Every structure is written in structure tokens, then in C-alpha cells.
Amino acid sequence: MYHITQLTNGLRLATAELPHMTSISLGIWAAVGSRCERESENGISHFLEHMLFKGTKRRSAAQISREIEGIGGYINACTSEESTCYHARAHASQAATLMDVLTDMYLNPELDRWEITRERRVIKEEIAMTLDQPSQLVLELSDETLWPSQPLGRSIAGNELSLNRTRKNQLSEFHANHYVSGSTVVVAAGNIRHRNLLDLAKRLTKRIPAGSRSNWFPAINDQLKPKVRLFTREIEQTHLALGIRTCSRHDSRRFALRLASVILGENMSSRLFQSIREEHGLAYSIYSTPNFHHDTGSLTITAGLDTAHLQKALRLTLAELRRLREKPPGSAELRRARDYLIGQLELSLENTESQMNWVGEQLLGFDRIIPPDEIKAHLNEIKPSDIRRVANDFFQPERICLSLVSPLKTNRSILKFLEI
């Protein structure tokens, strides 16, 4: 089902052939994100992503959207710490149009100065929206606390100072340095043959500048004790994010950690949800989310709750982390977690867009496409003792950072709770 071709210039093209589908999702991925940015250019990857929709040498911004929407299609983009993806979806018969528009955007952005000024204001509004939402703000604070003074801890969208510094010459230089053959992956998923993708991508493969893959700034982990970050705001609830530094996506322990996260808090059957929500009624919801990067990772537990319940909720949360360290889960609980994770994996690959994302993320993250059955096999190998082992590896005080958006005025009474 999966096919990959790597050209001599380093450009890779991949296809997930799904002949039973009527649609096609096409993505052009660049191995560049906020981890490639110096502090002075924080947010430039995301800024450039916005600007590629604002016109090319051949098309205006309106023409880009009209051309895709005129065939009943959809176009969007996203920027992360380690990649940027421009993607579109339409009926499979419109694959050539999708490729033409995306290639034009990727290779020939106009970067008009007036559009840059206007889009800078748009991104500032995007940042303001995040700051206005405590549940989003606390996640930004969590990253800053886990990865201080380094790209992983900075907002992908940037900040007002860095955005004001960004001009056409910086955007042009960043585009020229990073949107090159060795950093680019083209992915098609749906009713298309791999040889057809190779034909459709000829203009891109011939015109893309040669260059090697972008480099990321490495993660720095020098934390020696638990940390608390408090952002005081007059709001009704306290929003918390308990971040735990874990392992990279290349670490074999990630499979046991994924299952530990499910056991802890990824669904309504989880220990945290049952304790915090169902048994004690302290929060409407509480969830854990794992995140894996090239050289590090994190597991973040988030909740919103009445400030009066914060200390009790923290005690119960840390007790669950301690319980996993001290005693492995039962075989039935592990089986339920495994079945949930495998079921979620299968559901996540049901449509062409999710398949396109899967292939792009796999190629950029692992330099190969890991078959879903291989993931399932790894999960099936995990034993209860493996869950306890990763809990002891990672659920340690010196790996914990607690971030709060809260009406609290001080965090002095909170720090003592983080010794687990």
C-alpha cells in the first residue's frame, strides 16, 4: 500500500494507495519548524506558512482559494516544532490541480510587503486569542517551563517583538534556506497510483532548489528539581498543566509510555478521570497527552478546576503517578489500554487526510514508513512490568514542571506537593 521514491537531490515522494477511496489528499512537507529558529526569529516558520497563502508569482491569494474551492476541495497548512505541511484534499480526478497549486505556493511565494504587514496583525490576533484562553495559555506556559530559553519552549506563533522584527528579507532567506530538496517530502494518499504521483510532481522535482535537510536546535535538559510556574489571572477556575519530561520518538520505551498514558488519563476509563472526576468530583475533565520529539518528549496532564480543589487534585494526581511506580497495572487493565490504543490507531487511518499525515510524519520522523501492524506488534509485547519500569524512569520529581493559570497570588504552598 505504501510506496516511496527518493531522488538524487534528496527529495522524497510517497504514496498511500487507497483505490477504494474517491478522494485524494496531497501534502508537501518541509522538515522545518520552530525548533529551527533562533530566538530573534521566533515564529518565522509559522509566519512563512501564512504568507504562502497570500499569493505567488502566478496567483493571488483569492485565486489560490478559488481554484481549490472551485473543484469542491479544501486547502490548509500547519506548523509544528519540527515540520510544516501544506495540504489539500479533493476528488481524485482533481489531483493535478491540487499539485499545481501546492507546488506554486511552495516554490514561488510572492511575499508582498503589504501582505506581510497585514498578516503580521493577523498572527498577533491569533496569539492574543491563545492568551485569552486559559486552557491554551497554560499549555504555552508548560512548554516554556519544561524547555526554558530554547526553541522547544517558545511559542510556535512567535511573540510581538519577534514578529515586528520579521521583514520580507528574513522570510525570503528562511524560505531559500529551508524549502529545499533534502527537507521536502511529497505525500499523496487516496485513489492514486505511485507512478501518477511521480508524473504530477515533475515540475516540483525539476525546480526545487537543491539543499540538505534543516537542522534543529537540540533540547537542553538541565532540570534538577520540580518547578512551578504561576500566571496569575482573575478567572473563575485554575487551569493546570503537569508536564513531565520523557523520551524521544526513537526510544523503545515510548510504547510502554503510550500505554502508561492511556492508563493514567487518555479516556474516561482512566485512573485520573475515575479518581478526579467520578469519585471526588473535583474537575469536569482531566487528561494526559504524550508528545514525542526527535531527541526528547513529554507527558502532560491537564485539567481545569475550582481553585479550592487544586491541592487535593494535585495530591490525587501525584498519588496515581506514584502508584504506577510502585505497582504494575493488572493484566486486564493493560489489555484494555492496549485495545484502546490499537483501536484509536485504526480509526485514525480511516480517511485520506489522516493517511497523508501518517506517511508525512513517519518519513520526517523516522525516515521510513512504519506499518501500523509493526506498531501493534510493539504494543502487544509490552508487559505490566514494562509500565512500572517507565513510570520509575520518568515519573520523578526532577522531571516534573507544574504550570498554573489561576487567581492564586503565590505558588509557595504548591511546590511541596511535587515530591513524589
How many domains is the chain partitioned into structurally? 2
**pLDDT by residue (tens digit) across 296-343?**
999 999 999 999 999 999 999 999 999 999 999 999 999 999 999 999
Higher model confidence: residue 420 or residue 129? 129
Q: Mark whether 168 and 285 lie in a shared domain.
A: no
Question: Given this model, what pLDDT does residue 252 score?
Answer: 97
* CA angle (332, 338, 343) in 5-degree steps: 125
Q: Mark whether 267 and 200 lie in a shared domain.
A: no
Q: Mark whether 285 and 185 lie in a shared domain.
A: no
Q: Mark whether 247 and 391 lie in a shared domain.
A: yes
Q: With 70 as the cut, is the pLDDT of residue 90 above it?
A: yes
Among 148, 174, 207, give the residue marking a domain's end.
Answer: 207
In a domain, 364, yes or no: yes
Q: With 90 as the cut, is the pLDDT of residue 188 above it?
A: yes
Report, as an integer, the average pLDDT of 408-414.
85
In a domain, 328, yes or no: yes
pLDDT category of residue 420 using cuts at 50, 70 and 90:
low
Q: Mark whether 199 and 235 lie in a shared domain.
A: no
Report, as an integer, the average pLDDT of 352-361.
97
Q: Cα separation of 215 and 218, whole Å?
A: 9
**Domain span at residue 185?**
2-207
Amino acid in the structure at residue 327? K
Q: With 90 as the cut, is the pLDDT of residue 1 above it?
A: no
pLDDT category of residue 133 using cuts at 50, 70 and 90:
very high
Q: Mark whether 357 and 390 lie in a shared domain.
A: yes
Sequence-distant (≥ 6) Cβ neighbours of residue 68 within 8 angstroms: 74, 75, 88, 90, 97, 98, 101
In a domain, 67, yes or no: yes
Check if 49 is active-site: yes
Q: What percent of the chain has pLDDT over 70?
A: 100
pLDDT category of residue 58 using cuts at 50, 70 and 90:
very high
Question: Given this model, what pLDDT does residue 414 score?
Answer: 83
In a domain, 69, yes or no: yes
Q: Cα separation of 226 and 401, whole Å?
A: 6
- Pairing verdict, β 400-406 and 227-232: parallel
Q: Mark whether 35 and 127 lie in a shared domain.
A: yes
Among 145, 176, 207, give the residue marking a domain's end.
Answer: 207
In a domain, 217, yes or no: no
pLDDT category of residue 3 using cuts at 50, 70 and 90:
very high
Question: Given this model, what pLDDT does residue 418 score?
Answer: 77
Q: Mark whether 200 and 232 lie in a shared domain.
A: no
Q: Mark whether 317 and 356 lie in a shared domain.
A: yes
Q: With 70 as the cut, is the pLDDT of residue 17 above it?
A: yes
Active-site option among 17, 37, 41, 49: 49
In a domain, 234, yes or no: yes
Q: Residue written as cell 491563545?
A: 130
pLDDT category of residue 412 using cuts at 50, 70 and 90:
confident
In a domain, 221, yes or no: no
Q: Mark whether 267 and 198 lie in a shared domain.
A: no
Q: Mark whether 165 and 264 lie in a shared domain.
A: no
Q: Mark whether 257 and 173 lie in a shared domain.
A: no
The CATH number covering residue 324 comes to: 3.30.830.10
In a domain, 219, yes or no: no
Report, as an integer, the average pLDDT of 132-137.
96
Task: Round the average pLDDT of the chain to a whole number and report it.
Answer: 96
Report, as an integer, the average pLDDT of 48-54.
98
**pLDDT by residue (tens digit) across 381-403?**
999 999 999 999 999 999 999 99
Query: For the chain, what is the HEC assignment?
Result: CEEEEECCCCCEEEEEECCCCCEEEEEEEECCCHHHCCHHHCCHHHHHHHHCCCEECCCEHHHHHHHHHCCCCEEEEEECCCCEEEEEEEEHHHHHHHHHHHHHHHHCECCCHHHHHHHHHHHHHHHHHHHHCHHHHHHHHHHHHHCCCCHHHCCCCCCHHHHHHCCHHHHHHHHHHHCCHHHEEEEEEECCCHHHHHHHCHHHHHHCCCCCCCCCCCCCCCCCCCEEEEEECCCCEEEEEEEEECCCCCCCCHHHHHHHHHHHHCCCCCHHHHHHHHHCCCEEEEEEEEEECCCCEEEEEEEEEEHHHHHHHHHHHHHHHHHHHHCCCCHHHHHHHHHHHHHHHHHHCCCHHHHHHHHHHHHHHHCCCCCHHHHHHHHHHCCHHHHHHHHHHHCCHHHEEEEEEECCCCCCCCHHHHCC
